[in-house]
C-alpha cells in the first residue's frame, strides 16, 4: 500500500482520506450522541432488517446475518441496562453501535454498512421514532377526550355562562363546553394520522444520495419494518425533513389547544370566577405567601406553547434555503423533534389527570347565569317568530337592555307591560323563554347547546371512544 | 317605548344598548373592511344559501328570499364593477353588505341575519375562500410539477454532479434531480388535500356560540354550498381557526421548498457554477453596475419564505391562550391568510415560468462530473462485491483518494498496478465502473439515479400528470 | 456604436446589456413600488443632500444641483397631492422618482445617480424612515406613560387585589399597579433609543458594494441629513438590515407588553372581575346578541402581538444564510417594517385613549381585597419580627389558613385566642396589621406598594414626564 | 394548635395549608431542578448578600449570618464536587439549597428566606447569570473579530470578486470582505452592552409582588452584588423577563450573522468556488463516500440559527397575554436562555478557530476577478468624469457589455477603437482603470475597498482590539 503509511491514520470509520486528526473542539461541537442515543432501539431495529435483506440478496452470508443480529441484540441490552459506554468521538448513535458491533463480532460487523449511508439510517430512525410517537400521542389525545366526555357525562344538565369576548353571552351546558374540547382534540388526532402517511415511508436504500449500485431489495426491508411504501427518489429522500416539520406543526396546534384550555382553567380557578376547584394534589404553594394555592399545571402547559412553537420555528428556519440532499444543518432536527414529542405527551397526560380531579362549583355556576342579560338573544328570536325582522328585533331588545341597565334590572324582571312598551307583540309566553333553562333548551340546532343536542353528541362520543355512559 | 328616547341612538346595526357613539379612532382601529372586502363573493354566496334555507324553513317567505337573492346579486355586481362604496364605520364586509341590502330592499333585508351571527359568517366565508385557494394552489403545484417533469424529459441522459454538504458526492442524472422536486411538491399537494378535509365543513347555524333556537336546517345549507359535512359543536366552531393554521403551515412548507429550489438556482446561475442560464426576460439589472444580470426571481422567492413563516407565527401567537369561542383577536386571522395564499400562488406561478425558460449548460455539467472523486463509492462497492467488508473497502478507497490528492490525480487515472497496491482484488473490470456513466448506470435500486430507474419514475410522473413524453 | 442597434432596446434604466424585454409577470412579481412609494419623502430628502454634495465636489454644476432640487421638490408635491402616477415597470420608488426627474429636467436628472446605487439609497431611506418612526413611537410611549401616571394620581390611595398566578396574593395600590406599566413602557423607550444609535448612521457612498471611485464627501452628506456618523465598511453596509431587526424586535416587546395590559383589561372588564368600566365609545356590540358590550380594543391589540412577532420572524428568516452584500431577498424587509411601525403606533395611541376613558369600580375593588387571606404574609412577617424563623412562621400561618378554610373564616376574623393557638407570641397588636390598609402601608421597601413608596415613585414619574400632579 | 393535627402534613416548605400530598406526576411535571441547578452559584451568591443585609438590618444575628454563609459555602462546594444530591420533590434550585441549609445549620437556615420570595430569587439568579454570559459572549465576539482582523492583515492586498446577488459585481480586497464581518460582529457587542444596562439591575426586595414590610436595605444588596441600580416597581419586576427576550434577540442576530458567514464558507469551500481550504482537522468525512471532506462546522452553525430563533419565539410566545407579576409560565424562560447562551458561545468559539485555520487560495481568487466585467462600473465612472451624465454612461457601458458577450470578450480586451465606438470621449487612459487593481485602488471613498481605505480601517481595528499588525 503506497505512501500513506507514514501519515496520521484516522480512527474514524470515515477517516481513510484524512491526514489530520479531528480537532477536539470539532468533535465536541459536531457530536450528536448525547441526544441521538435516544434512537438506539430504532437504529438497531433498522440494522437488523437491513442485515436480513443483505443476506437474502447474497451480500452477506446467513451466518454473518445471524452474528450481526445477535451482536446488535446484545448491544441493545447493554444500552438498556446502562452498561454501554457511548463515545462522543464516534459522533452519533449509528457509529457508536457499528463500532461496538465490529468490536464484538469482527469482520461481519464491517459488512453491516454495505449499501447504506448514515443519511439513510437517520431518516429511517426518525421515521420509526415518529411513528411510535404518533401512536403514543394519539392515544394520549384519546385519553384526554375521554376525560372530557366523562366530565360532560358527570355534569350533564348543569348550566354555565357561555362567553364571547370573555363577556357573558348566552347560557350553555357545562357538557357542551366540555364537548367543544372533545372536538378540538379530535381534529388533532386526524391531523397526526394524516401526517403519519408521510412519516410511514421506508427510506433505506437511497444510500448517500444517488441510490446504490449493489443489488438491494428495498421492498423486503419495508415489509420487515412494517412500512406500507418506499421513498420514490433518493435525492429528495436524503434531505427530506418535511414529515418532521409537519409532525411538529400538528403538535404545535395541540399545545396551542392546551394553552386555550389552560387559560380557561386558570380563569375558572381564580377567586373571581371560582368555577372550579383544582385538587390540592394538583397545585403548589408559595415560598413566601402561606395562603397561596396556585394552578401551576395549566400555567406551565400554557407556557410550554412557547416551547413547541419555538421548536417549529427551529425546524423551518433550519430548512430555509438549503440545497437538495443532505447538509449537516439537518442534524439540528432531532432536539426539537424530541422536545416536542415529550412536551406534548407530558402535557396531555397530566392535563387528563387534572381534568379527572376537577370539581365544578355548580352553585356558583348557577348564580352566574342569572345575570348578564344572557337571554337577550332569546327575546330577539321570539320577536322574529312573531314576524318582526331580525334587525328590528335586535334593536328593540338592545333598547330594553339599555332600559334595564338604567334601572338595575334583568330582562326577566320586567313586567309584561314594560316588555310590551318595547314591542306590542310580546305576550306572556315570553317568560318561560327568558329563563336560563328555557334558553338552553331552545338551542336544538345540530351542534347546539340544548340538552337534546348535547345528549346526542355525548352518546356518539361515548360510542366512538368505547366509553360506557 | 320608555326612557331611552332622549339618548344617543347608535347608527350601528348592533347599537341598541349603547348610549355613546363609537369613537372615530375606535372605528378606524377595529374596522376590517379594508381587507375583508376581499371576501364579498363568499359572503354573498353564503348569504344566498342561508336565505334559501330560511325560506324553506318558513322563517322568511319565498318572496322575501327572492328579494334577498336579487339584492345580493346586484350588490355583488356593484362591488365587482367598483361602484360599491365600502363604509369603514360599518366595520366589515358582512355589515357593509347587509346594510346595503336593507337600503336596497327594505324589511326583507332586515330578516337576513335571522338565526346567524357574524361569527358564523366569517367562519363560513374563510372556509369558502380557503377551499378555493386550496384548489388554486394545488393546481399551481401540479403546474410546477409539470415543469420539472418536462425538464427531466428534455435533459434525459444528461449527467451532473450530485452534492451532499455542497461538496461533489456522486454523479446523478439532471432528470433525477428534477424529479426530486417533483416528489417534494407532490407531498405539498397531499398535505393541502388533507387540510381541505378540515376546511370543508359547514359552520353556519352555530349562531353566536350556543346554536340557535330557531328551526334551521344546517344540512340543507351544507348541500347548497357543496360541503360534505357540518361542524359538530357550536362553541368549538366559533373560535376555531385550526384549519387556517394548518393551511398556512402547509403553505410554509411549500415556500420553504421553493426557497431550497431558489437557492440552487442562485447557485447554479453564479459564475462559479454556471450550470444554468436564466432567460434575460427573467432577470433584472443593476442601477449602478451596467454588466449585472441578477437572478432576482429566485432571490425574492427565497426571501418570501420569511414572509410566509411570519404569517404562520402570527396565527399561532394570536391563538395562544385564548379562551374558547369568539374573541376579537381572531379578526387578525385574515391578513396572514390572504398574504400567504397570494405569496405562495405568485411564487409557484412564476417559478414554473422560470423553469420553462431555463437552459442547462450541458457542456459545463459534463466537465464538472469528471473531477472530485465522484466514483469513489463505486470503487468501494466493487470491493464489497469482491467480498471485502464494506468498512475495509471504505478505508482502502479513502487511502487511494489521499494518494491521488497527494499526486494530483483522479481515481480513474490510476493504473491497475497502482490500484492493486491498495487492494489486490482489483481487476481491470474496474475501469468501466470508474467512469461517470458507469457509476450512474449502476444505481439501479428503486428510486436511484440509473437511467433505468429514472426513466421509470419519469414515465409514472408523466402518466399521473397526463403529460405526453 | 457597433452591432446592438438591431436588438431589443430595454426601457429600463439598467437595461443596456439586456437583449430581451422583462416578462410582464416578472415586472409584477419584482415591483416594490406599491409599498415603497411610502418612502418618497425620505428618498427625495436623501437625493437633495446627495445632489448638494455632488455639486460641492464638482461632479455636477451648481445650476444642475438647483435644477435637481427644484425638480425633486416639485415631484414631492405631485406625490403628496396624488397627481403623480407611479409606474410598476419602473420597479421602485428610486427609479420612479429618477425617471420622473429626467423627464422633467433632462440631462441634469441623468446625473443624479452619479456615485451611488439603489443599495445605497434604500439603506438611507429606511434609516431616515426608522429614525422618524422611532421618535414617533417613543413619543407615543411617553403618551401612554402619561396616561398611567394620570390614572395612578387619580386613584391614589385606592387598594386592589394583587395577584400572582391569577390568584389573589397581597393587596396593592391601584397606583402601584399602574406604575408597573409606567416602568415597563419606559424600558421600551430606552430600548428604542439604543436601537436608534445603530439606525442613525449615514450609508450613502458605499455605492454598489465596494465604495465609489468618484470623489464624494460622505461626511458632508451626513451633516446635511443630520446623521452623527457614517457607515464604516461598504460591503457590510449594503447587506445590513440588523437595525431593522432590532427595531422590530424592540417593537415586538412593546406589543407583547400591550398584550399583557390588554389581557388585564379584558379580565377586569369581565362580569366576574368587574374592576373597570370601559366607555361605551370604546367598545362594540354584537350582530346577534343585543346585550353585548365587548372590549374589542384590548382584544385586537392582544391579537396584534401575533402580527408583530410574525414580522420579526419574517425579517430573521429572510436574513438567515444570506451571503454578504445585497441580495434581492432584502427587498422583503419593507412590508414587515412598515406594518410593525403602524401596528405599534396605532395600538399605543388607542390604548392611551382607552386608559383615559377607563373607570375603576372602587367599591368592587374594596370588597375584593377583604377575602383571600391576602394578609397571610403580614402575619408571617409579624412572627418573624417576634424572632420566629421565617420557615416556621410560614408553616404556622399555613396551618392557620387551613383552619380558616375548614371553618369558613378569614384570618382577620380569628380571635386572639384562636391566633395564639397557632403561636403564643401573637399579641393584640396583630389586628391592625391584618387589615388590608395595614398590609399595604407596611410595604415600605423601595419599589414596594406602600402609599409612601408609591407617592415617591409617582412624583418622580411626574417630574420626568413634566406632568403636574 | 387546633384541628389540623390529624391531617396530612406536607413536607413542602410551602405546604402549611395543603391537605393532600402533591401528586408524583405533578412533581415530575413542575420540577425545574434538572435545568435550574445550573444557577447554583448565582443562587448562593445572592443568598449570601441577602444574609449579610438581613444581619445588617437586625433581622438575623451576626452569628446566624456567619452560619448561613458558611453553610452556603459548603453546599456550593458539595455541588461543585458532585456530592450534592438534588431532590426533584423540592422543585427548584432555591428550595434544594434552602432545605440543605436548614438540614445543615438548623434554625438559622429557616431565617434565610426572610423578606424575599422565589420570584425575587429567580429574577436575581437569571440576571447574575446573564451578566456573566454577556461578558463571556462579548469576549468571544472580540475573539472572532480578532480572527477577522488577523486574516485581513495576513491577506492584505489580495483581491477577490465582490458579489451582489451572488453574481460577480466588482473586485474587492479580501481584507475588505473580512473587515465587513469585523463591523457586523462589532454591532453585536454594542447591542449586548446596551442590553446589559437592563439586565444589570438588582431585583431583590420585591418579595412576592408588593415589596416587603420588613426593614430591608435593597441598596446595600445591590452594592454587595455590584449592581449599579435597583428595580423600581415590585409588581413590574416580578413578572419582567424583557431583559431575557432582549438578550436572546441580540444573540439571534449573532447567530444569523454566523449563518451568513457560514453560508459563505460553505460556498467558498465548494469545488466550484474553491476560494478556501478548511483544515482537515475542522472537517469530517462520510460513512459511505470515502472521498468526502465536508464543511460540517459552518453547516451546523448555520443550522443552529434555527435553534436560537426558536428560542426567541419560545420566550415571546410565553410572555404573550400574561397578566402582570409572576405566573408559572415564566418558569419556561430558563431553558431557552441557557440553550441560547451555550449555542452562541460554542458557535463563536469554534468559528474563530476555524477562521484561524483557513487558507485562501490566492491563485484561484486572482483568476476569478479577471472575468465577469467587474470593471464595468469603473468605465461608467470614467465617462462621468468626462461629463457624460451617469444614466447615459451606464447605458453606454451596458451596450459595450452586450457587445462583449456577443463576441466572447472582456471589456479590457476591447481596443481603443472599439471602445470609442461606444463613446468618443474614451481615451487610452482608460486601460489602467479597466484593470482589476486599478478598479480596487480607485474606491477611495471612506469605507471603500481601496488599499488606502482598507489599511486605515484595519489599523483602527487593530488599535481597538489591541492587536499588533
Percentage above 70 pLDDT, chain B? 98
Structure confidence by residue, pLDDT tens digits, C2-41? 343 334 555 677 877 888 888 999 999 999 999 999 999 9
Q: Residue B1 — very low, low, confident or very high, per pLDDT cuts 50/70/90?
A: very low
Could you tell me which CATH class the domain B21-114 is placed in?
A: mainly alpha
Q: Are A403 and B2 in contact (CB under 8 A)?
A: yes
Distance between the two ends of chain B, CA-based, in angstroms? 79
Nearest to C253 by CA among C294, C179, C308: C308
Taking CA atoms, B433 is separated from B391, B422, B439, in Å, by: 20, 17, 6
On average, the pLDDT of chain A sits at 94
Q: What is the pTM of this model?
A: 0.96
Mean pLDDT of D253-260: 98
pLDDT of residue A1: 36
- Mean pLDDT is lowest, of A2-6, A144-148, C146-150, C269-273, for A2-6
Query: Residue D2 — very low, low, confident or very high, per pLDDT cuts 50/70/90?
Result: very low
pLDDT tens figures, A434-453: 899 999 999 999 999 999 99
- Is the ipTM here above 0.90? yes
Torsion sign (Cα): C410, C416, C417, C423: positive
- Residue C22 CA to residue C10 CA, distance in Å, equals 8
B16 touches chain A (CB under 8 A): yes
Binning pLDDT at 50, 70 and 90, where does residue A9 land?
low
How far apart CA B68 and CA B71 sit, in angstroms, is: 5
pLDDT band per the 50, 70, 90 thresholds, residue C171:
very high
Instruction: Note whether B14 contacts A256, CB cutoff 8 Å.
Output: no
First-to-last CA distance in chain D?
78
CA angle C253, C257, C263 (to 5 degrees): 140
Check whether B2 has a pLDDT greater than 70: no
> Which pLDDT score is estimated for A412?
84
> Distance between CA atoms of C282 and C290, rounded to whole angstroms?
17
Q: Where are the alpha helices (DSSP H) in A106-117?
A: 107-110
Looking at the predicted structure, is the pLDDT value of residue B146 above 90? yes
Determine the residue among D287, D337, D338 to mutate to test chain A binding: the one whose Cβ has the most chain A Cβ atoms within 10 Å: D287
B444 touches chain C (CB under 8 A): no
Q: Are D221 and D202 in contact (CB under 8 A)?
A: yes
Phi, psi of B414 (to 5 degrees): -75, 150
Residue D1 is predicted with a pLDDT of: 36
pLDDT given for residue B10 in this prediction: 58
Say if C467 is an interface residue toward chain B (CB within 8 Å).
no
Strands C276-278, C358-360: parallel, antiparallel or unpaired by DSSP?
antiparallel
Tell me the pLDDT tens digit for each residue of D386-400: 999 999 999 999 999
B165 is catalytic: yes
Segment D391-410 mean pLDDT? 90
Active-site option among D9, D270, D286, D459: D286
pLDDT of residue A5: 39
A392: how many CB neighbours lie within 10 A of its CB?
Answer: 16
Tens of pLDDT, residue by residue over A20-63, are 888 999 999 999 999 999 999 999 999 999 999 999 999 999 99
Run of H or E including A105: helix A93-105
Beta carbons of A307 and D332 less than 8 Å apart: yes
Encode pLDDT of B95-131 as tens digits. Answer: 999 999 999 999 999 999 999 999 999 999 999 999 9
Residues above pLDDT 90, as percent of chain A:
84
Q: What is the number of CB-based contacts under 8 A between chain B and chain C?
A: 226
Same fold, A21-114 and A119-367: no
**How high is the pLDDT of residue A114?**
94
- Check residue C282 and report its DSSP letter: G
DSSP letter, residue C284: B
pLDDT digits (tens, 9 = 90+) for B21-52: 889 999 999 999 999 999 999 999 999 999 99
A429, burial (CB in 10 Å: exposed 0-12, middle 13-18, buried 19+): exposed
Poorest-pLDDT segment among A435-449, D169-183, D370-384? D370-384
Minimal Cα distance from A401: which residue of C? Answer: C291
* Cα atoms in the Cβ-side hemisphere of radius 13 Å centred on D188: 30
* Residue among B5, B6, B25, B165 flagged as catalytic: B165
Cα separation, C36 vs C124, in Å, equals: 13
From the list C270, C293, C376, the residue facing A289 with the nearest CB is C376
CATH architecture type of domain C119-367: Up-down Bundle (1.20)
Digit-coded pLDDT (tens) for D11-32: 677 877 887 888 999 999 999 9
Cα–Cα nearest to D340, from D307, D315, D299, D318:
D307
Res. A77: pLDDT tops 50: yes
Chain C contact present for A286, CB below 8 A: yes
CB contacts of B272 in chain D (<8 Å) are 267, 270, 272-273, 368
**Nearest C-alpha neighbor of D372 from the set C16, B294, B283:** B294
Question: End-to-end alpha-carbon separation of chain C, Å?
Answer: 78
Mean pLDDT of A164-168: 95
D435-451 pLDDT per residue, tens: 999 999 999 999 999 99
Nearest to D377 by CA among D389, D392, D394: D394
Alpha-carbon gap, residue B135 to B247, rounded angstroms: 12
- Closest to A213 (Cα-Cα) out of C65, B445, C347, B218: B445
Annotation marks residue D177 as catalytic: no
- pLDDT reading at C211 higher than 90: yes
Distances in Å between the Cα of C148 and the Cα atoms of A77, C181, C455, C465 are 65, 7, 14, 11
Residue with cell 438591431: C6
CB contact under 8 A, A264 and B206: no
Per-residue HEC secondary structure of B278-305 comes to ECHHHCECCCCCCCCCECHHHHHHHHHH
- Among residues C1, B279, B265, C11, the alpha carbon closest in space to that of D401 is found at C1
End-to-end CA distance of chain A: 78
Q: Give the closest residue to C281 by CA, choosing from A405, B19, B4.
A: B19
φ/ψ of C302, rounded to 5, equals -60, -45
Report the C-alpha gap between A424 and A429 in whole angstroms: 13
User: All 3 cell numbers of residue C367?
Assistant: 370588597
Annotated catalytic sites of C, by residue? 165, 286
Pick the CATH number of A370-465 from 3.40.50.2000, 2.60.40.1150, 3.40.50.970, 1.10.40.30: 1.10.40.30
User: If you ran DSSP here, which 8-state letter would residue D21 be given?
Assistant: P
Rounded-to-integer distance, Cα D356 and Cα D179, Å: 15
Are C455 and C445 spatial neighbours (Cβ–Cβ below 8 Å)? no
| Mean residue pLDDT across chain D | 94
CB contact under 8 A, A184 and B238: no
3-state secondary structure of B362: helix
**In the structure, what pLDDT confidence band is assigned to residue D9 with cuts at 50, 70 and 90?**
low
pLDDT for res A10: 59
Contact assessment for residue C469 and residue C462, using Cβ atoms and an 8 Å cutoff: yes
Q: Which three cell numbers stand for residue A10?
A: 484516522
User: By percentage, how much of chain D surpasses pLDDT 70?
Assistant: 98
pLDDT-derived band of residue B462, with 50, 70 and 90 as boundaries?
Answer: very high
Residue C421 has pLDDT above 50, yes or no: yes
pLDDT for position A4: 39
Highest mean pLDDT range out of A290-299, C187-196, D283-292?
A: C187-196
Host H or E run for residue D161: strand D159-164
Q: Provide the grid cell at D369.
A: 476577478
Interface of B with A in 311-370 (CB under 8 A): 312-313, 316-317, 319-328
Q: Do A17 and D304 touch (CB under 8 A)?
A: no
C-alpha cell at A5: 503509511
**Interaxial angle between packed helices D242-268 and D296-319, expressed in degrees from 0 to 180 and rounded to the nearest 10:** 160
CA distance C327 to C335: 17
Mean pLDDT confidence for D218-238 = 97
Judged by DSSP in three states, D41 sits in helix
What are the beta bridge partners of residue A159? Answer: A173
The pLDDT score that the predictor gives to residue A370 is: 84
Q: Could you tell me the CA-to-CA distances from D316 to A234, A305, B104, B108 in Å, in that order?
A: 39, 11, 48, 49
| HSE-CB for D208 with a 13 A CA cutoff | 29
Selection from D310, D200, D333, D326 nearest residue D255 by Cα: D310
Taking only the tens place, the pLDDT of each residue in B170-228 is 999 999 999 999 999 999 999 999 999 999 999 999 999 999 999 999 999 999 999 99
Cβ atoms of C164 and A292 closer than 8 Å? yes
Our CA dihedral for A175, A179, A181, A184, rounded to 10 degrees, sits at -170
Q: Chain C, 36-95: which have a CB under 8 Å from a chain B CB?
A: 91, 94-95
* Closest to A242 (Cα-Cα) out of B184, C389, B223, B363: B184
Three-state SS sequence of D84-146: CCCCHHHCCHHHHHHHHHHHHHCHHHHCCCCCCCHHHHHHHHHHHHHHHHHHHHHHHHHHHHH
Q: What percent of chain C has pLDDT over 70?
A: 98
Nearest to B270 among D167, D286, D289 (CB): D167
Domain range annotation of chain B: 21-114, 119-367, 370-465
Quick one: what percent of chain A has pLDDT higher than 70? 98
The vertex-D131 CA angle with D130 and D134, nearest 5°, equals 80
Whether residues C285 and B331 touch (CB distance < 8 A) is answered with no
Contact B398/D368, CB-based, under 8 Å? no
Q: Once rounded to an integer, what is the mean pLDDT over residues B385-394? A: 92
- What whole-number distance in Å separates Cα of residue A394 and Cα of residue B115? 12
pLDDT at B3 over 50: no
Task: Name the 3-class secondary structure at A164.
Answer: strand
B28 vs C301: CA distance, rounded Å:
13
What is the pLDDT, as a whole number, of residue A3? 41
Residues of B in contact with D169 (CB under 8 A): 286, 289, 292
Report the chain A residue with the minimal C-alpha distance to residue C404. A291
Triad A88, A90, A94: Cα angle to 5°? 110
Q: What is the CA radius of gyration of chain A?
A: 31
Taking CA atoms, D458 is separated from A238, B136, C212, D161, D467, in Å, by 44, 55, 19, 20, 10
| pLDDT value, residue B7 | 44
- Report whether pLDDT(C433) > 90: no
Q: What is the pLDDT of residue C458?
A: 98
| Yes or no, beta carbons of B165 and D290 under 8 Å apart | no
Note the pLDDT of residue D238.
94
Amino acid at each position: 500500500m503506497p505512501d500513506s503509511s507514514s501519515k496520521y491514520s484516522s480512527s474514524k470509520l470515515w477517516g481513510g482520506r484524512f491526514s489530520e486528526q479531528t480537532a477536539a473542539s470539532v468533535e465536541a461541537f459536531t457530536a450528536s450522541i448525547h441526544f441521538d442515543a435516544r434512537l438506539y432501539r430504532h437504529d438497531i431495529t433498522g440494522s437488523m432488517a437491513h442485515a436480513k435483506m443483505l443476506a437474502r440478496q447474497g451480500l452477506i452470508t446467513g451466518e454473518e446475518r445471524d452474528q450481526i443480529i445477535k451482536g446488535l441484540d446484545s448491544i441493545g441490552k447493554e444500552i438498556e441496562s446502562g452498561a454501554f459506554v457511548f463515545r462522543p468521538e464516534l459522533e452519533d448513535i449509528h457509529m457508536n453501535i457499528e463500532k461496538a458491533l465490529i468490536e464484538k463480532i469482527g469482520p461481519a460487523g464491517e459488512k453491516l454498512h454495505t449499501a447504506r449511508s448514515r443519511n439513510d439510517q437517520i431518516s429511517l430512525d426518525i421515521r420509526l421514532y415518529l411513528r411510535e410517537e404518533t401512536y403514543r400521542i394519539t392515544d394520549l389525545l384519546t385519553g384526554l377526550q375521554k376525560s372530557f366526555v366523562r366530565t360532560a357525562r358527570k355534569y350533564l344538565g348543569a348550566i354555565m355562562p357561555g362567553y364571547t369576548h370573555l363577556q357573558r353571552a348566552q347560557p350553555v351546558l357545562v357538557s357542551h363546553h366540555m364537548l367543544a374540547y372533545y372536538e378540538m382534540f379530535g381534529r388533532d388526532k386526524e391531523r397526526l394520522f394524516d401526517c403519519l402517511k408521510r412519516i410511514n415511508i421506508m427510506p433505506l436504500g437511497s444510500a448517500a444520495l444517488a441510490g446504490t449500485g449493489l443489488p438491494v431489495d428495498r421492498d423486503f426491508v419495508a415489509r420487515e419494518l412494517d412500512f406500507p411504501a418506499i421513498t420514490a427518489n433518493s435525492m429528495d429522500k436524503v434531505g427530506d425533513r418535511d414529515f418532521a416539520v409537519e409532525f411538529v406543526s400538528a403538535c404545535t396546534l395541540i399545545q396551542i389547544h392546551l394553552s386555550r384550555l389552560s387559560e380557561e382553567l386558570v380563569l375558572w380557578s381564580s377567586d373571581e370566577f371560582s368555577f372550579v376547584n383544582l385538587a390540592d394534589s394538583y397545585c403548589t404553594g408559595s415560598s413566601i405567601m402561606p395562603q397561596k394555592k396556585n394552578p401551576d399545571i395549566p400555567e406551565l402547559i400554557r407556557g410550554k406553547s412557547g416551547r413547541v412553537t419555538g421548536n417549529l420555528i427551529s425546524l423551518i428556519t433550519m430548512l430555509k434555503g438549503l440545497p437538495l440532499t443532505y447538509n449537516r444543518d439537518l442534524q439540528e432536527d432531532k432536539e426539537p423533534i424530541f422536545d416536542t414529542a415529550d412536551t406534548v405527551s407530558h402535557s396531555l397526560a397530566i392535563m387528563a389527570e387534572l381534568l379527572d380531579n376537577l370539581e365544578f362549583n355548580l352553585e356558583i355556576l348557577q348564580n352566574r347565569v342569572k345575570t348578564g342579560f344572557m337571554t337577550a338573544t332569546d327575546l330577539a328570536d321570539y320577536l322574529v317568530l312573531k314576524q318582526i325582522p331580525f334587525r328590528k328585533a335586535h334593536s328593540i331588545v338592545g333598547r330594553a337592555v339599555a332600559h334595564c341597565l338604567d334601572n338595575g334590572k334583568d330582562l326577566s324582571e320586567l313586567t309584561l307591560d314594560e316588555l310590551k312598551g318595547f314591542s306590542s307583540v310580546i305576550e306572556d309566553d315570553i317568560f318561560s323563554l327568558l329563563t336560563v333553562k328555557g334558553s338552553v333548551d331552545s338551542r336544538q340546532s345540530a351542534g347546539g347547546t340544548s340538552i337534546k343536542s348535547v345528549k346526542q353528541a355525548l352518546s356518539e362520543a361515548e360510542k366512538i371512544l368505547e366509553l360506557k355512559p
